[in-house]
Structure 1
Amino acid sequence: MRKSLLTETPIVPAHQDSHLEYLESDVTHLHAFLSGSVSLVLDKGTSDSLLRSGSEQAQKLVLESLRVLKKGGKLVQFTDEDPDARLPFWKNLEPNQM
């Protein structure tokens, strides 16, 4: 994506505050982002993979995503998994962790 942004026709934002950047990072440790610095986190199947290998890594994904989100920011998860597989995970997150 980074290469596409550099070599293809540039995307011109409609709003002066719009910004799009692609970074490669460990989703369980988003050290490149300050707390409260991101408006939107998109998870397209990453948490599905992490949940299959145990909930600890998936929990880190969620906690890091919530850490970097601005107040009012959104964490959007795209999945084709049954909600019954995901809801227990969300219910088991400790409130003080979120």
Structure 2
Amino acid sequence: MLHTVGPIVSGGLTDGQCYQACLALADEKGLRSLAFCCISTGEFDFPPEKAAAIAVETVKAFMQGARSLKKVVFNVYKGENLKIYQSLLKK
């Protein structure tokens, strides 16, 4: 199991470092799949739309050069997040 600490919104939004670090480690360790929840969008108030855009963009870019990693799942538990991810993944 991998664990990441997501960003806390205090003075601005950050890039996808938490996703990038997990993706790189998973690929390095030979994992074939990985799942992400909606990192920092609950208790830490990271805007869901921005978080999803960062997650999808970071994963798409990483997967172009991935060696072992073949599948990334976005595990959402709110209907609003599902709609956001579905919209972004259609692009």
TM-score, normalised by the number of residues in structure 2 = 0.45
TM-score, normalised by the number of residues in structure 1 = 0.43
Bigger strand share: 1
